[in-house]
Amino acid sequence: MNAAMMLLVISFAAPLLVLVAGTINARLVPHVAVLATALAAVVVGWSFWQPDAAIRWTWAEVYGLHFELRLDGLARLYALLAIGIGFLVVAYASRYMELHLHHGDRPASDHIRFFFFLLLFMAAMVGLVMAQDLILIFVFWDLTAIASFFLIGFDQHEEDSRSSAMMALVVTGVTAVLVLVGAMLLHHDYGTWSLPAIIEQGGIQDSAPWALLLIAIGALAKSAQVPLHFWLPRAMAAPTPVSAYLHSAAMVAAGVFLIGRFYPLMQQVDWLLDVFLVIGFASMLVGGILALTRNVLKQVLAYSTISQYGYVVFMFGMGGDYGIKGASFYVLAHAIVKSALFLTAGAVTEATGKKTLADIGGLRQTMPMLALGSGMAAAGLVALPLTIGFFKDELFFARAAQLGAPYMVMAVAGAALTFAYIFRFWTHIFLGREISPSQPISTWLVWPVVVLGLLTVLGGIWPAPFTHIAEAAASVSTNSPQKLHVEYVIAPIVENLMAISTWVFGFGIYWTRRRWWRVALGIAHLGEQLGPAHWYYRGLNGLNHLSDSIHSFEVRDLRSRVASILLPAGILVGLAVLVTPNANSFEIGPIQQSDFTLVIMLIAAVVSGLVVMTLRDHLRLAIGLSSVGYSLAGVYAFMSAPNVTLVAIVVETILSMFLIGMMVLMPRTILRFETEADSDRRSISRDAVIATVAGLLVFFVSWGALSRTSWNTEIIDSQTVLTPAVHGKNIVTVILADFRGFDTMGEITVITITLIGIISLLRSGRLR
């Protein structure tokens, strides 16, 4: 069993173990979850000493699909984030969820749901980062969206939770479809579903840039980039461990992971990189400015995440060796520090019961360990020396400096905003005077933060292990071996100058906050009024109204129901016929001289059908109907089907008699009244249009189908051979009575039941 297999098995076994433990006792669930993720963390650590490993199973060979996974450098980086941070978050959640459920008076069995979906999410991430097959990538991609829906909406009794979960699902789920479309286009261009094979073929083919753009939109939506960022702050309705995990290390990271996975192709499309630059910078600014104005702890961090992933997207846009290595390193560093800050927010809220910066302060005395741990993490995020964060910004600045002054200005602006809001966040919580009293909290809510804080400092002192991970990931993203080495250079080089100016500007922004406070709030307010979230709600409402009005039309009466099936079906099929390439798929078919009689009978059937439409009274209607039926019986006769002809004539005769018999039972006045009620000109032309559309639909469908009948006549031959064996001569009757005897039995049963029904309905007389 190789490393890829081990990882896949252990991560998908974990949610199942939780379910099993849940059936025994719900209180066991957190412990089982911690153990399972600890085991997975050991495996992922062990995998770093293993060579690249692959799994390749045949999946759906007809379509060229393979269950193809590969543990490469990029997969290792994101699997480490998903499982490593996942382990710490699960450890934290094992205590936090107990309190959370206790506060809400909820049963312990809710643990099962929470940990099942959390671990399912982890498993989906592990599958996603290793997947190499385009469809497999989509499957895991969607699985993360589904798991996150249940996690964000975990507090399902709250309306806010539910609508936030729905918003996250709509934004990431709809864009996931774009990823699928992109995958289809790539398959169409390159003829394979395997991403490594596509990259090996090299070059960018006709529709590939558009395919990559679609995939990039999916990725950017998942990474909460402007203008599809609005779901992330709303998703903070989830319990804190979910925010810490999904919105720092996993779900949003999946977006930039996807860019990293497709980067060997994307880097060949220049305008796509420009798109990354624009969106990355916009996210940096929007996220940064809004983070400054927020008061709720988790909201500050949510906007911070938008801004930080804006950095990563910006770096992908800048490209170059430094850009890509920097992006990989940035994701790693950011996941560590941001999850620590989220966990801090959760612990602080748990201790004080308050959620906003204004209500919290001076916690350094009561919670020194938490202050220390989160202080290290905050220092990492604002890129102070001796933390891993310093190097993440160094690489960012190094690439910007290579590209010139405008990029340097943008980089410093983004980083200075980060400094300002994180400084505000940490100092407001831990410094100053105590505002609300705090209770002591479980050490399980503190030590994960401290571990992450120590990791931040460790990365600042000994960056080699982290750079190895990042360079292996960057090698996959650029499809060429990369080396990454960082060290402190104590000299006035341009990166250091940019870092210093960042701190100065950042502190300046914080210090002068009273001056621009109103402006920033105004921008935030404007964004709420005119921003994408507003259009999301408008769009959703519009769709709702549309669906309501279609529904109310559809259920109005039987006719509108018929129309609302026929019309859209006709239009959709018509569009499909227009759009799909269909050369040679319609054939006229040979007409022999002997077909002459057949054509005559068909014309007779059609003409009598058209006449039936125009008839106004019911007796002629009945006669017209039967003349259609008899003409068709003639058609069957000339198609050498004597059995069918006989049955058709008998049935048609009975039906005509039945129809006429019905008319005898009804008074003339009613029948005449009905015919006149229908002769409204407008309704006739409307119905004629609908009928024409439906007829065209059937024409194309049946023509297409009849042009492509099977050439395999084995069944006919075998039935011909078998017929003497059952002592029959007429193959059709033998099929009915013998080969498909059960069918005929069922048919006879239906006829009998109908007969009983008809008799009882006719006999029971008038109701009044």
Partner 1 sequence: MTLVFSLAIAALFAVGAFLMLRRDLIRLIAGMIMIGNAANLFIMASALRRGRAAVLPGNGDEMADPLVQALVLTAIVISFATAAMALVIVYRVYTSHYSMDLTELSAAEEEQSERDEPESGDLVEQDIEEDIEEMPDDAKVGVLA
- Which residues ranging from 580 to 599 are in contact with partner 1 (CB under 8 A)? 587-591, 595, 598-599
Q: How far apart are CA 24 and CA 46, in angstroms?
A: 31
- CA–CA distances in Å: residue 500 to residues 52, 397, 412, 493: 40, 11, 10, 11
Of the two residues 50 and 719, which places its CB atom closer to partner 1 in the complex? 719
Q: How far is the CB of 10 from partner 1 (least distance, A)?
A: 50
Site for partner 1 in 665-684 (CB under 8 A): 665-666, 670, 673-675, 677-678, 683
- CA–CA distances in Å: residue 455 to residues 71, 146, 211, 340, 465: 24, 31, 39, 10, 11
Q: How far is the CB of 750 from partner 1 (least distance, A)?
A: 6
Of the two residues 550 and 613, which places its CB atom closer to partner 1 in the complex? 613
- CA–CA distances in Å: residue 555 to residues 363, 545, 680: 62, 15, 22
Give the position of tokens 């480490």.
80
Total binding residues for partner 1 by CB under 8 A? 100
Site for partner 1 in 188-217 (CB under 8 A): none
Of the two residues 409 and 716, which places its CB atom closer to partner 1 in the complex? 716
| E strand or H helix that includes residue 316 | helix 297-318
Of the two residues 60 and 610, which places its CB atom closer to partner 1 in the complex? 610
Site for partner 1 in 463-502 (CB under 8 A): none
| String of DSSP letters for 62-80 | GGTEEEEEEE-HHHHHHHH
Of the two residues 501 and 744, which places its CB atom closer to partner 1 in the complex? 744
Of the two residues 519 and 715, which places its CB atom closer to partner 1 in the complex? 715
Q: How far is the CB of 369 from partner 1 (least distance, A)?
A: 59
Q: How far is the CB of 737 from partner 1 (least distance, A)?
A: 10
Q: How far apart are CA 502 and CA 229, in angstroms?
A: 25
Q: How many residues are present in the chain?
A: 768
Site for partner 1 in 516-555 (CB under 8 A): 555
Q: How far apart are CA 492 and CA 469, in angstroms?
A: 29
Residue 635: HSE in the Cβ half-sphere, 13 Å Cα cutoff: 15
Of the two residues 60 and 607, which places its CB atom closer to partner 1 in the complex? 607
3-state helix/strand/coil string of 235-294: HHHCCHHHHHHHHHHCHHHHHHHHHHHHHHHHCCCHHHHHHHHHHHHHHHHHHHHHHHHC
Please identify which residue in 566, 574, 600, 623 interacts with partner 1, judged by CB under 8 A: 566
Of the two residues 514 and 729, which places its CB atom closer to partner 1 in the complex? 729
Please give the structure tokens belonging to residue 761: 């309905």
Q: How far is the CB of 671 from partner 1 (least distance, A)?
A: 8
Site for partner 1 in 706-765 (CB under 8 A): 706-707, 709-711, 713, 715-716, 719-720, 723-724, 728-732, 735-736, 740, 743-744, 747, 750-751, 754, 757-758, 761-762
The one segment of 36-44, 399-407, 489-497, 688-696 that binds partner 1 by CB under 8 A: 688-696
Determine, following the binding rule CB under 8 A, whether residue 58 of this chain makes contact with partner 1: no
Of the two residues 196 and 609, which places its CB atom closer to partner 1 in the complex? 609
- Which residues, other chains included, contact 458 with Cβ-Cβ below 8 Å and sequence gap of 6+? 388
Q: How far is the CB of 631 from partner 1 (least distance, A)?
A: 9
Nearest to 393 by CA among 479, 452, 314: 314
Of the two residues 434 and 738, which places its CB atom closer to partner 1 in the complex? 738
Give the position of tokens 């935030």.
524
- CA–CA distances in Å: residue 540 to residues 537, 546, 552: 5, 10, 18
Of the two residues 57 and 711, which places its CB atom closer to partner 1 in the complex? 711
Q: How far is the CB of 543 from partner 1 (least distance, A)?
A: 21
Please give the structure tokens belonging to residue 599: 């054509």
Of the two residues 1 and 665, which places its CB atom closer to partner 1 in the complex? 665
Please give the structure tokens belonging to residue 495: 């990166």
The one segment of 149-157, 160-168, 436-444, 692-700 that binds partner 1 by CB under 8 A: 692-700
Q: How far is the CB of 542 from partner 1 (least distance, A)?
A: 23
Determine, following the binding rule CB under 8 A, whether residue 688 of this chain makes contact with partner 1: yes
Site for partner 1 in 242-281 (CB under 8 A): none
Of the two residues 227 and 728, which places its CB atom closer to partner 1 in the complex? 728
- The answer to whether residues 528 and 534 touch, using CB atoms and an 8 Å cutoff, is yes
Strands 65-71 and 53-60: antiparallel
Site for partner 1 in 641-660 (CB under 8 A): 641-644, 647-648, 651, 654-655, 658-659
Q: How far is the CB of 579 from partner 1 (least distance, A)?
A: 20
Interface characters, 612-641, with partner 1 (x: CB under 8 A): xx----x--x---x--xx--x--xx--xxx
Q: How far apart are CA 327 and CA 308, in angstroms?
A: 11
Q: How far is the CB of 584 from partner 1 (least distance, A)?
A: 13
Q: What b/e string do you get for 203-238 counting C-beta neighbours within 10 Å, with b at 16 or more?
A: eeeeebbebbbbbbbbbbbbbbbbbbbbbbbbbbbb
Please give the structure tokens belonging to residue 145: 């969206």
Nearest to 468 by CA among 21, 49, 106: 49
Q: How far is the CB of 575 from partner 1 (least distance, A)?
A: 18
Of the two residues 504 and 657, which places its CB atom closer to partner 1 in the complex? 657
Of the two residues 544 and 730, which places its CB atom closer to partner 1 in the complex? 730
Please identify which residue in 177, 546, 606, 726 interacts with partner 1, judged by CB under 8 A: 606
Of the two residues 146 and 731, which places its CB atom closer to partner 1 in the complex? 731
Determine, following the binding rule CB under 8 A, whether residue 685 of this chain makes contact with partner 1: no
Q: How far is the CB of 696 from partner 1 (least distance, A)?
A: 7
- The answer to whether residues 149 and 165 touch, using CB atoms and an 8 Å cutoff, is yes
Q: How far is the CB of 549 from partner 1 (least distance, A)?
A: 15
| String of DSSP letters for 349-396 | HHHH---BGGG---TTTT-HHHHHHHHHHHHHHTT-TTSHHHHHHHHH
The one segment of 137-145, 247-255, 408-416, 694-702 that binds partner 1 by CB under 8 A: 694-702
Please give the structure tokens belonging to residue 740: 């498909």
Q: How far apart are CA 738 and CA 227, in angstroms?
A: 66
Of the two residues 269 and 696, which places its CB atom closer to partner 1 in the complex? 696
| E strand or H helix that includes residue 460 | helix 447-461
| E strand or H helix that includes residue 199 | helix 195-201
Q: How far is the CB of 571 from partner 1 (least distance, A)?
A: 14
Please give the structure tokens belonging to residue 116: 């099942």
Looking at residue 49, the DSSP 8-state letter turns out to be T
Please identify which residue in 52, 98, 359, 687 interacts with partner 1, judged by CB under 8 A: 687
